[in-house]
Amino acid sequence: MAGTAGSSLTAELNRLAGTTGKADQGAANTYASTSGLGVNAALNKKADANRQPTAYKGLNAICNELASTSGKSAVAALRSIDV
């Protein structure tokens, strides 16, 4: 099921992680099966576990990569991911 129109980035990260009430960083780490990383780092690791920090994509770009979309804002891209 895709996300809800108008939902926040935090809400979408929680939806994808299967959690509720976590801050965006915690939800991103749960979604990515990582620990202690920032949102951007966790999402980059979700996309490619071997990606090095020097190759990390920005938030919009990594969310579009995860969603197999392009040109969307981070939250709009995450909303398009079915779980």
Q: What is the DSSP string of 22-49?
A: --HHHHHHHHHT-SS--HHHHHHHHH-T
Residues 6+ apart with CB under 8 A from 26: 19
Distance separating alpha carbons of residues 5 and 46, to the nearest angstrom:
24
Q: What is the pTM of this model?
A: 0.94
Higher pLDDT, 32 or 83: 32
Give the residue from 28, 73, 72, 19 showing the smallest Cα distance to 47.
Answer: 28
Give the pLDDT score at 74: 98
What pLDDT digit, counting tens, does each position of 37-67 carry?
999 999 999 999 999 999 999 999 999 999 9
Output the average pLDDT for the chain.
96
58 φ/ψ angles, rounded to the nearest 5 degrees: -70, 170
Give the pLDDT score at 1: 65
